[in-house]
Amino acid sequence: MRLALPQESSVRKPVWYLGRPTMPRRAIVLSAIAVLAPVLASVVVPQTIEDYELLVWLLLLVPAFMLAYFRGWRGVATALAIGMLVLVSVQIGLALIGFRVPDLSLLIAVIVAYVLIAMGIGMLSDRLHTERMHAEELALTDELTGLPNRRYVRLTLEREFAAARRGRPLVLVYFDIDRFKQYNDRCGHAAGDEALRGVAHALSMHTRAMNISGRWGGEEFLSVLASAEIAGALVFIERVKARLREVGLSAGPITMSCGLAAFQPGMRSPEDLIAAADAALYEAKAAGIDSLRVHQPPVATATRQAGP
């Protein structure tokens, strides 16, 4: 059965390609101080701050600014809930112990100002986050296929290579569309673009969330498989190829050759792993279309691994 390529949605949900901004410890400490300051001032020196109480309570906006920047609307809502709870609780507590009767007009003014300013902060932070996510998308995704681009794959590979040096398995799969130039020349660039999108669809369907498959350049694609062995990578490749055979390309089916390489202790940089996968791919291309080769480490490396 032939599967049609999915139509690309005109509205795509923005995502954090490099991860959501994390709130640093100093921002948390500053927010806590901003919450405690008006509480202590209202209890310890209420007469001193009487003329400036509205401004003192507006210190509760500091957590709103911090959480809005790092968490967007959700952060604003959290800060708003905490601020209202602290403000109302303090005023009720002071009234219950007979310390003083709360000034309702001041209380309402603080609440209104706090809500309005917090909402404004939320709107600005939401716009900021949307623009940042859009910028990340432009910088880190391939426009034609929607896959991660070379830069994003490279960033991921560097991170996973560092983890592999600490002992976590890592396999790199290098895909290349067979005779793509002839396919492109014979069927036209539109058909070539469709073929690239077909490969991207097959890869995205079978790449786990913890891994990444991206367009490395031209008709070449790279899959970074973390915590994977060669056997698991072979299963992944077979599933990708099976999916590609099911994709209904208007100009006819295509095949891919693949080169695999697993991380070896003697490798010093991601370039070594890429070079190994590229060498395996070169052997696969020489063997004919739809071929696959696994890079074999040098005998000395294999001997060291087998040793005590």
Q: What is the pLDDT of residues 173-227, one digit of tens each?
A: 999 999 999 999 999 999 999 999 999 999 999 999 899 999 999 999 999 999 9
CATH number of the domain within which 289 lies? 3.30.70.270
Q: In the listed set 140, 165, 200, which residue is the last one of a domain according to the structure?
A: 140
pLDDT of residue 6 exceeding 70: no
Same domain, 227 and 246: yes
Tokens of 192: 């070539």
Check residues 283 and 124 and name the one with the higher pLDDT. Answer: 283
Q: In the listed set 82, 115, 140, which residue is the last one of a domain according to the structure?
A: 140
Long-range Cβ pairs for the range 162-166 (8 Å, 24+) = 163/226, 164/263, 165/263
Residues 206 and 235 sit within 8 Å (Cβ to Cβ): no
Q: Which of 244, 246, 274, 270 is nearest to 261 (CA)?
A: 274
Q: Please give the Cα distance from 100 to 93 (Å, whole number).
A: 10
Q: Which of 172, 179, 178 is nearest to 213 (CA)?
A: 172
Same domain, 55 and 193: no
H helical segments located in 45-103? 53-57, 61-96
What are 294's strand-pairing partners? 260
Q: Please give the Cα distance from 189 to 184 (Å, whole number).
A: 6
Same domain, 157 and 268: yes
- pLDDT, one tens digit per residue, over 63-96 is 878 887 777 777 778 887 888 788 778 877 877 7
In order of 60, 111, 112, 128, the CA distances from 120 in angstroms are: 15, 14, 12, 12
Q: Please give the Cα distance from 34 to 91 (Å, whole number).
A: 17
Q: Please give the Cα distance from 57 to 49 (Å, whole number).
A: 10
Q: Please give the Cα distance from 102 to 111 (Å, whole number).
A: 13
Q: Please give the Cα distance from 198 to 188 (Å, whole number).
A: 15
- pLDDT, one tens digit per residue, over 117-164 is 777 877 887 787 788 778 877 888 999 999 999 999 999 999 999 999
Using DSSP's 3-state secondary structure scheme, residue 292 falls into strand
Element (H, E) at 244: helix 230-246
In a domain, 2, yes or no: no
Mean pLDDT, the chain, rounded, equals 84
Same domain, 158 and 255: yes
Q: Which residues are catalytic?
A: 219
In a domain, 191, yes or no: yes
Least confident among 44-53, 62-71, 196-205, 228-237: 44-53
Among 41-45, 46-50, 53-57, 213-217, which range has the highest average pLDDT?
Answer: 213-217
Confidence of residue 15 (pLDDT cuts 50, 70, 90): low
Total domains in the fold of the chain: 2
Residues 133 and 15 sit within 8 Å (Cβ to Cβ): yes
Confidence of residue 10 (pLDDT cuts 50, 70, 90): very low
Q: Please give the Cα distance from 66 to 72 (Å, whole number).
A: 9
Same domain, 189 and 133: no
What is the torsion angle, in degrees rounded to the nearest 10, for the CA atoms of residue 206, residue 132, residue 22 and residue 146?
10
Q: Please give the Cα distance from 9 to 199 (Å, whole number).
A: 18
Same domain, 188 and 169: yes
Q: Please give the Cα distance from 98 to 241 (Å, whole number).
A: 77
In order of 151, 169, 172, the CA distances from 154 in angstroms are: 5, 17, 12
% of the chain residues with pLDDT over 70: 87
Using DSSP's 3-state secondary structure scheme, residue 101 falls into coil
Same domain, 161 and 59: no
In a domain, 171, yes or no: yes
Q: In the listed set 80, 113, 140, which residue is the last one of a domain according to the structure?
A: 140
Q: Residue 9 has what pLDDT?
A: 41
Same domain, 271 and 162: yes
Same domain, 43 and 156: no
- pLDDT, one tens digit per residue, over 260-273 is 999 999 999 999 99
Tell me which residue range forms the domain holding 130: 25-140
pLDDT mean over 287-295: 96
In a domain, 29, yes or no: yes
Same domain, 71 and 216: no
Stated pTM of the model: 0.69
Our separate counts of H helices and E strands in the chain read 10, 5
Q: Residue 213 has what pLDDT?
A: 97
Same domain, 158 and 129: no
Q: Residue 150 has what pLDDT?
A: 95
Same domain, 166 and 260: yes
Confidence of residue 12 (pLDDT cuts 50, 70, 90): very low
